Amino acid sequence: MTILGDGKCLSSKALHEFGMNAVFFGNSLGRSDTRISEHKARGFTLIELLVVISIISLLIAMLLPSIEKARASGEQIVCATNLRQMGVAMEADINEWDDWMPYYEAWYEDHHRSHLHVTPDGSWWWGKKLRTLGAVMNLYLDAAGDANADILNTEQGLWCPSHPGEVRDDERFDKAPIPSRTSASTHGILAAYGYNHRFLGTQWTDSSKAKGWFYRKKSFVKFPSNIISHADNAFTLPSSHTGYHYWTKVNRTQPLINSTEPSEVVAGRMVDMIPDFRDELIYPIGERHLEGGNAVCLGGHSEWQTQRRWHMGDFDHRWTEPGSNFVKRIPD
């Protein structure tokens, strides 16, 4: 018999049973701890790690195309929104100027200056104390109505998010790939968007004589929803005094076919410009968005087509409208 500290006694039989249980409980704890310790020490085998890595790599490879496509679609939407803003600005200008569509030089600030003098024989010049007037489009894009607001074709304004820009050793850009000033973009031939100048209206940049300058009213166009007004531009391959850059103009056929000459337009409708004549084109439409480009039409809607489609002969009605009236600066 054993006497406990509180005065109670245990018989030999009870003490024996208590000891056996204590030993069993202790052994159970010991074996459990050993198993836990062994379990904690065990890690992944090399084969298991390789299998997991392979599965993760496969999932990433499957997701990347979808992610890239989603990103490209998002950029295309942003670009289309930019072009619609340009279309709205143009409509506001047309409403304010008695239905006349803006001619290219004033709209994009291509040597748009005051004190212009034009003679009956077609000669022209800028008078003394001329000043740059800014891009008329900026006047309508800017809330304060400032033609020098630098919104058009600038990094902080309207620029296609898929356009990488171009780093050039040109003081106008401070070696930045995307211009910060509209005038630098237009004069430096580094833009994201161009104008359908050979149909909507143009002056000195397309004709050295004022007799070749022409203008159009929107009401002269029978199917305005067909006609491109602004669009993504593309890299220009032909060398010239400013070749190998991004112009603020777009045209389906220049310089191979004169899009203002009716007989050439009719013949040109039988010719697909891309891919056969891609290298010869000066003002091609862009291919930044899934091998295509966005455009906004006179009707106000934006549209996407592949670059090849935009330049096909049966798409010429999107660029010009034979028989549409126009007014020359100096009548024939």
pLDDT tens-digit map of 208-257 = 999 999 999 999 999 999 999 999 999 998 766 666 689 999 999 999 99
pLDDT, position 245: 87
List the end-to-end C-alpha distance of the chain, in Å, as a whole number. Answer: 138
Give the 3-state secondary structure of residue 294.
strand
Chain length of the chain: 332
In a domain, 261, yes or no: yes
In a domain, 54, yes or no: no
Tell me the pTM.
0.81
In a domain, 18, yes or no: no
pLDDT, position 296: 98
Check whether 157 has a pLDDT greater than 80.
yes
Overall average pLDDT of the 201-209 stretch: 95
pLDDT, position 54: 87
pLDDT, position 40: 57
Place of tokens 């400013």: 242
In a domain, 207, yes or no: yes
The number of domains in the chain is: 1
Tokens of 166: 């171009």
Instruction: Please give the backbone phi and psi of residue 328, each rounded to the nearest 5 degrees, phi first.
Output: -90, 150
- Each residue's pLDDT tens digit, 35-82: 555 555 567 788 888 888 888 888 888 777 777 778 888 999 999 999
In a domain, 92, yes or no: yes
Overall average pLDDT of the 143-155 stretch: 96
In a domain, 79, yes or no: yes
In a domain, 228, yes or no: yes
Candidates 322, 92, 145; CA nearest to 227 is 322
Q: Residue 296 is part of which domain span?
A: 59-328
In a domain, 279, yes or no: yes
Who contacts 325 (Cβ-Cβ below 8 Å, separation ≥6)? 216, 217, 220
Overall average pLDDT of the 144-156 stretch: 96
AA identity, residue 68: E
Give the 3-state secondary structure of residue 158.
strand
Distance CA 222, CA 36 (A): 85
When the pLDDT of each residue in the chain is averaged and rounded to a whole number, the result is 87
